Structure 1
Amino acid sequence: MNRILVTGGAGFLGSHLCERLLARGDDVLCVDNFFTGDKRNVTHLLQHPHFELMRHDVTFPLYVEVERIFNLACPASPIHYQHDPVQTTKTSVHGAINMLGLAKRVKARILQASTSEVYGDPEVHPQPESYWGRVNPIGMRSCYDEGKRCAETLFFDYHRQHRLEIKVVRIFNTYGPRMHPNDGRVVSNFIVQALRGHDITIYGDGSQTRSFCYVDDLIEAMLRMMDTPADFPGPINIGNPGEFTMLELAEKVLHLTNSRSKLVFQPLPADDPKQRQPDISLAKERIDWEPKVALGDGLTETITYFRKLLAE
C-alpha cells in the first residue's frame, strides 16, 4: 500500500484519481482548499478506511509523510482562473515550490498536472512535446498559461539540481462527470445550455477545433506515467487526438440531449487558440496508452451526470 497525496483532490480530475487509487489499494490523502473543488465529489469516499480529506491551500507549506504526490491543485477553467489571476499564478508557482519541497524532504516521487495551455495559440499542429509554444505573457490567460510553464521549469530544476523523481503530464481538453456546471468549458457549457433549453453559445465562427479526452482515459494515463522508470520525467502529452470543431461538438450535444436549443455566435475571446490537438506518439511509445472512449459514449455519460445534477 502506497501513501499518496493528491492536491486538488476534490476537483473534477482529482476526485476520479482518488477513486482509482483507492480501488487499487492505496492510502490516499486528499488535499483541497475548495475554491473550485467540491466536497460532493468525494463524499462517497469519506467512509473508506484508507481515505483522508484535508482542507489546505498549497500556496502554504504542507507537512505530511507520503511516498508519492500528484499535484493537481489549480483552477483550470478561464472563468475560475481569471476570477483571481494573482492567486492563480501563486497556486501554480508557490504551490509547485511547496509540493516540490515536500517531495524533496520525504523523498517522494511527484507528478505535475501541467496543461496543453503551455503551447498557447500554437503555430505547430498537432503539438508534440518538443514544441516550445506561443504564449502571450501579459494576456488575460497568462496567469494560468505562464503559471503552468513556470511550474514545469521548477519541476525540471528540482530534478536536475536535487535529483528529485518527477513526472510531468500535459493535459489536453478533458471532460466527464463531476465537471463544474459553471466552469465555462465548452463541453459543460454546451450540455448545461442544451439541457436547460437555453441558446448554445459558440465563440467565433465555430470552426476552431479542440480534442476531447474522457476522464477515465486520462486518469489511466496519469497512473501509467507515475509508474514509469525514474529516468523518464516527461513531459508527455495526454489527450485524445480526435479533432472536432465547436460546431460539430454543439450538434452532437444537441442530438444526444434531444434539445431544441438554438446556436448563437459571440466574438472570440482574446488569446483563444484556433487549434488544439495532441501528438500522443510519446504516450503510445512510453506508457502504451491511447484513449479508448469515443466522444459519443463519453458525452452520453457526462449528459447523464448533468441531467441528474440539474434536477437536484
Structure 2
Amino acid sequence: MSERTQHAEPPRTGTPGEVLIEARGLTKRFTKKGAEPFVAVAGVDFEVRRGEVFGFLGPNGAGKSTTMRMIGCVSPSTGGSLRIFGLEPSAAGPAIRARLGVVPQEDTLDTEMQVRDNLHVYGRYFGLPRAVIKERTERLLDFVQLADRGSDKVEPLSGGMKRRLTIARSLINEPEILILDEPTTGLDPQARHVVWDRLYRLKQQGTTLILTTHYMDEAEQLCDRLVVMDKGRIAAEGTPRALIERYSTREVLELRFPLDEQDQAAEKLAGVADGVIAEKVEVLPDRVLVYADDGETALQAVRARGLEPMTALVRRSTLEDVFLTLTGRTLVD
C-alpha cells in the first residue's frame, strides 16, 4: 500500500482531549395535534472530546439517531443545552455544519454520476475552489481504495464500495467531527473490515468520530467510549471494557438444549446462580446463558445437576451481554 493511500485529509488542529460537544439535559419532544408529546430523547448528558471515537448504542427507537440529528444541526432540541465547538446550534447551525462530516445510515449518492463527480459536486456545496476539490478528491479516493474506480458510475459498485465512497464524500470539507449513522449495516464481513480499517486510520490522524451501530464487535473495535441508550435515556456510559466489567461477568457459558427440554433445564439451572458458581442465568428463545467468572466451573455445576446440553460454549463476556443486562433484549428488536 502506498504512503499516499494511507493518508486522508489532515484534521484541523486543536488541543487533544478538549471537549468538542457538550450536552446537558438534552431533550427532544415531538408533538402532534391531538396527541400526547412523544419524548424521543429524555434529558441526556454527555461529552465528546477531540480525537476520540464516541459511540451511541441501543435498541431501535432508543433515541440514538435523534441525538445524532441534533448534533448534526438538522433537528433542533426542545430542552436542555447543546454546544458544539462552543457554539449553540440554534444560533450557529451553518457555521457548525461547515466543520462536520456526515455519513447517513442510507447512502445518498448520485448513482448516475461518476464516482469522482459525486465528490466534486459535494465539494461545491461547501464553496470550495475547484482546484482544491480536485486535489482532495484524488487523495480521498486513494484513501478509501477507490482510485481505480473514479471514472466509473456509482450504480454498479458493490455495497462496500458505495459505503467507502460515502465516507470519502463526507471528508471533502476536512471535517473536525465525522458523524456516522450505522456505517457498516448491510455489508458483508470483508467489506465491514475494510471500512473499519479506514475509520481506524482517521482516528489515528486525530479525527473525532461519533457513530451509532448495531454491531457489538464494531463498537468494541472502534469506540474509545460509548453510551448505552434505552427509551430516550442513557443507561450506562464508559469504555467498552469498563462496561463489560461493570455489568457482566468475566465469562459466559452458552448452553443449548432440545427445545422441548429447555424450560425444564432452565428450572434446574436456577440454583446455579448463587453468586459463587454463577451470577445469573438468562433464558433466551434458543439458548441459556450462564454468567460466571469461571465458565468451566459453571459447566461442571450444570452437569452435576444431571443436565447434558446439546452444545456448551465458554466465551468471554461482550457488549451484547451488557445490552441484555441493561435493556432486557437484544440490540436489534
Of structures 1 and 2, the one with the larger relative CO (CA 8 A, separation 6+) is 2
TM-score of the superposition, structure 1-length normalised?
Answer: 0.29
Q: Higher helix proportion, which one?
A: 1
Larger radius of gyration: 2
TM-score of the superposition, structure 2-length normalised?
Answer: 0.28
